[in-house]
Every structure is written in structure tokens, then in C-alpha cells.
Amino acid sequence: MYIYLYFTVKQPENGTNDRWVSELTSRLQESEGARSEVQDRLVRMQTDMESLVAESKHLAELKDKHETSLSDLEER
């Protein structure tokens, strides 16, 4: 999954590039931080989803076992 962040930085008219480079670097670091945060969230979501799937399978097995036990009792 790719996230594209678009931003513009107006180059100063006085010809000094230091402030422009500093601003550009700052925004790039912010976008990298945001990308890293989103990536961390996706990993947590995937882990949560895997846990939910495992729990769902376990509950389905318990339900089947319970229904089998119930039908055995009804036959008796």
C-alpha cells in the first residue's frame, strides 16, 4: 500500500535556498513520520484481524461441539 503526500513549497524570491531547503526537509520528515505511523497502524490492524479470525474459528468449533452434544441429549 502506498500513500502519496503532495505539498508545495514556495521558493523564496531573495535567492537564499537555506530556508527553502529547511522547509522542504521538515515537510519530508513529517510525511515520513506520517507514513511510518500509518504503516504501524496497518500492522496492528492486521494482527487484530488475525486474532479475530482465530477467535471466530474457535467459537465456530465450540458451537458445533455444543450442537452435537445437544442433539445427543435429545436422542437419549
pLDDT in tens, the chain (76 residues): 555 555 565 665 665 677 778 888 888 899 999 999 999 999 999 999 999 999 999 999 998 888 877 676 666 6
Range of the domain at 44: 20-76
Determine, yes or no, domain membership for 2: no
| pLDDT at residue number 14 | 63
Domain count, the chain: 1
**What span, in angstroms and rounded, lies between the C-alpha atoms of 23 and 58?**
53
| pLDDT at residue number 6 | 58
**What span, in angstroms and rounded, lies between the C-alpha atoms of 36 and 52?**
24
| pLDDT at residue number 66 | 82
Determine, yes or no, domain membership for 63: yes
| pLDDT at residue number 11 | 60
